[in-house]
Structure 1
């Protein structure tokens, strides 16, 4: 007899975990209530609660007050020193990706040069993942004027069409405004990660972007080695 067969809490945890990792239960899926699980497994509700608590601690399940337990959205990880394609990062986590452009406007900047300004939302598993406000310099990227950013996110298009030589990131933790919280489907004042990035080709600017992520859905990771040169403008 296996250990899980003699340990109801472990059996429940392993079976729910297997459904999550196999993709049968996708992120955002509502897990049956504790009373129903206890009846299904023929055990006490406290046993089910213990199993779910262990899954919460492992980051596989999240409990929402007055709503129940749901399969957690795994955080997306990105290296700080790269220019990531959010579509690829989200797809790599096994979640469906979608981009929704809200506004696309052609304007002149302070220097009188033509720019394209794009506002939109990145979705992961049908839920808002990040807000984006981007400016593209049309003098450097004239082909962007004819691109259809209603069907392809501008970051994805730029990475595929325009080589860049340098980039600068500025990362801050901020509280979402009421409008931002609504767009991200989170609470007003919720902790968010703001990433502002400028990219250049040689000494010519290509794009500036501000992206706002839910703090519980995105991690920026940097790896260092002893003896690496110190960079100015630390976070």
Structure 2
């Protein structure tokens, strides 16, 4: 039976190691101290040290390799089906008033970077839109979107002054495939100003590309303040269904 001292030491060692890993002080591939070294460092039994390492391995933070030791796990990319949500509905679900502001709308030819993002040849006609979605008086997210005019020709006649491109596209284009990419980075000066946050603050970025049978439809990048947004994906093993919310 584990006594109170062992339990306290277990939690202390566990917390210390988790902090080192989560903070990035111990990056992926870093070798942890051996059991005997942990025991000496914390003045505990090797059994207590072993239990800590076993717990960390079970949660996926570390890998235990026979005769080599324990190492911080490499991050594993996982694919999940995400619903395509209406941002207005997201804001109203928070019981906040929603508003939308169009900042840029330009019809132009795709450049090298655009062509890669939208999976189109350079020179293809695109609509370049930047907008800001607000929740109450606070910026909710920045929307940066490219629309293929070869696939959605009627977009050239829509001003997007009153309606955001997302719901407009969903009501007109029966897309068949979507790809999401989600990552975090520090806010640039321009992003920080638009979102009313300090420069360097963490922001969450959700990028999406969609296609229909006729080719690429749109590429969009949503930029959210990192402390005000979460991404939730619900899926089942082997599920191939794509929600079209």
Give the match for residue 172 of structure 2.
Answer: 161
Q: Is 2:234 aligned against 1:223?
A: yes
1:92-112 Cα distance to aligned partner (Å, 9 max, x none): 221111111111000111432
Give the match for residue 178 of structure 1.
Answer: 189
- After the TM superposition, which residues 30-49 of structure 1 pair with which residues of structure 2 at under 5 Å, given as runs? none
In 2: Cα distance, 1:224 partner to 1:155 partner = 23
In 1: Cα distance, 2:191 partner to 2:101 partner = 15
Q: Return 5+ residue gaps in structure 2 as ranges.
A: 1-79, 112-121, 241-245
In 2: Cα distance, 1:184 partner to 1:124 partner = 11
Give the match for residue 86 of structure 1.
Answer: 87
Deviates more, 1:87-96 or 1:207-216: 87-96
In 1: Cα distance, 2:153 partner to 2:163 partner = 17
Q: Is 2:104 aligned against 1:103?
A: yes
Instruction: Return the match for 2:205 from 184, 194, 211.
Output: 194
- After the TM superposition, which residues 11-160 of structure 1 pair with which residues of structure 2 at under 5 Å, given as runs? 81-110=82-111, 111-160=122-171
In 2: Cα distance, 1:178 partner to 1:108 partner = 27
How far apart are residue 88 of structure 1 and its match? 1.3
1:161 match: secondary structure: coil
Which structure's residues are more often strand, by fraction? 1
In 1: Cα distance, 2:162 partner to 2:193 partner = 23
**CA contact 2:151–2:214 (8 Å) conserved in 1:** no
How far apart are residue 209 of structure 1 and its match? 0.5
In 2: Cα distance, 1:221 partner to 1:197 partner = 15
RMSD after superposition: 1.9
Q: Which runs of 4+ in 1 moved over 2 A?
A: 227-230
2:227 match: secondary structure: coil
How far apart are residue 224 of structure 1 and its match? 4.1
In 2: Cα distance, 1:143 partner to 1:195 partner = 26
Q: When the two structures are superposed, what TM-score results if normalisation uses the length of structure 1? A: 0.60
